[in-house]
Amino acid sequence: MDERVLLAKPCGQGTVEVVVGDLTAQPVDAIVNAANTSLAHGGGVAGAIVRRGGEVIQRESDAVAPLEVGGAAVTGAGRLPCRAVIHAVGPVWGEGGEEAKLRAAVRSALRCAEERAFASLALPGISTGIFGYPKDAGCRVIVEEVSGHLHGEAGTLRLVRLVSIDEETALHFLAAATAVW
């Protein structure tokens, strides 16, 4: 799949990019997996990560599971071009407190990246796929959290790529980023 960068814009201490592309092909320090609490990588983004990166990612995930909604954990990246996978557990739409839980999941992923001194990170639309979170609202929350992080205390992150394989989600990221900046 050819990658298209829809936006590359300075944000606080770094740059945010909105990308239509394959999350598993991102040349960054870490990618974020939109995970479930058991870290079972069967479908969606999680399934694609294990298919491309290898079963070692599932085995390492099994060792750190389960996670609470809003939490995150790090595993190796197997055959992926990145160094690590950060598994962030977002909410299922309808379970209650979805916005606060999604914000916590994004903050947890960003914290994991900073704890490992990563300079670059690629994030998908956590919870906006099979978990049913409305794409426009979910992308807005993710963009707000990334922006707040990059405008906060100086850390190691310098590039955050908001990546979606589907144009619709990428356009929601673009609209949210345009509204925030």
pTM of the entire predicted model: 0.97
Give the mean model confidence (pLDDT) for residues 39-65: 94
With b meaning 16 or more CB within 10 Å and e meaning fewer, what string describes 45-80?
bbebbbebbeeebbebbeeebebebbbbbbbebbeb
Question: How confident is the model at residue 74, as a pLDDT?
Answer: 98
> Tens digit of pLDDT for each residue in 85-125?
999 999 999 999 999 999 999 999 999 999 999 999 999 99
Strands 84-89 and 72-76: antiparallel
In whole angstroms, give the CA distance from residue 74 to residue 88.
Answer: 9
| 31 torsion bin: left (phi>0), alpha (psi -120 to 50), beta (else) | beta
Sequence-distant (6+) residues with CB within 8 A of 10 are none
Under DSSP, is residue 147 helix (H, G, I), strand (E, B) or coil?
A: helix
Question: How confident is the model at residue 153, as a pLDDT?
Answer: 85
Question: How confident is the model at residue 44, as a pLDDT?
Answer: 84
Domain with 100 in it: what CATH number?
3.40.220.10
Range of the domain at 14: 4-180
> Tens digit of pLDDT for each residue in 114-167?
999 999 999 999 999 999 999 999 999 999 999 999 999 889 999 999 999 999
Question: How confident is the model at residue 38, as a pLDDT?
Answer: 97
**Number of domains comprising the chain:** 1
- 79 is written with which tokens? 């055959």
Residue 1, pLDDT > 80, answer no
